Amino acid sequence: MSFILILEDDQTTSERLQTLIERELDEPDLSIDIIETERDFRFGWLEKLRAGDVPAPDVIVIDIMLLWSFPERNADPRPLDVVEGGFHLAGIRCLDAIRAEPRLRRCKCLFYTALTSADLTEMGANLPGDIRLVTKDQNGLEVARFVKSWLIPLQPR
């Protein structure tokens, strides 16, 4: 059984990615979870992982420009790193949290974003060498194909 986590705040995009990945993998026991905000990932999902309530995913697909949270009245203040970095680097902060979590160190990660490598460099964010970047001007099928290529070696023969 494969488990994929998608961090994406746009519902249309996350549903399209889920459909494309399901079609490409054609795996009956595939599990895909979608997290819509940086806050829900960092202070919700990661806490559940640490408590043993959710398994570590095999692959995480990350939108770099991810909302901290959806607007709500009387919301808690955003953490300083979010205020200083803004939503443009939310996916990078999520990746940092992933890399700091021992149970996620072996997890493959892919950025699916409107930003290019040049945009990230201009913003002062260096893309780690083991991270794939697929721009949103491409069909999400490229994401599904990367996910499949990473998961095939994990499948029992």
Q: What is the pLDDT of residue 57?
A: 97
Residue 110, domain extent: 3-154
| pLDDT tens per residue across all 157 residues of the chain | 899 999 999 999 999 999 999 999 988 899 999 999 999 999 999 999 999 999 999 999 999 999 999 988 888 888 888 888 888 889 999 999 999 999 998 899 999 998 888 888 887 777 777 788 898 877 788 999 999 999 876 555 4
Q: 66-70 long-range CB contacts below 8 Å, 24 or more apart?
A: 66/7, 66/8, 66/9, 66/37, 66/38, 66/41, 66/90, 66/91, 66/94, 67/9, 67/36, 67/37, 67/38, 68/37, 68/38, 68/39, 69/37, 69/38, 69/39, 69/40, 70/36, 70/37
- What does the pLDDT read at residue 157? 45
Which pLDDT does position 155 carry in this prediction?
Answer: 55
For residue 33, how many other CB atoms are within 10 A of its CB? 15
CATH number of residue 57's parent domain: 3.40.50.2300
> Based on the structure, what is the number of domains in the chain?
1
Query: Model pTM?
Result: 0.91
CB 33 within 8 A of CB 2: no
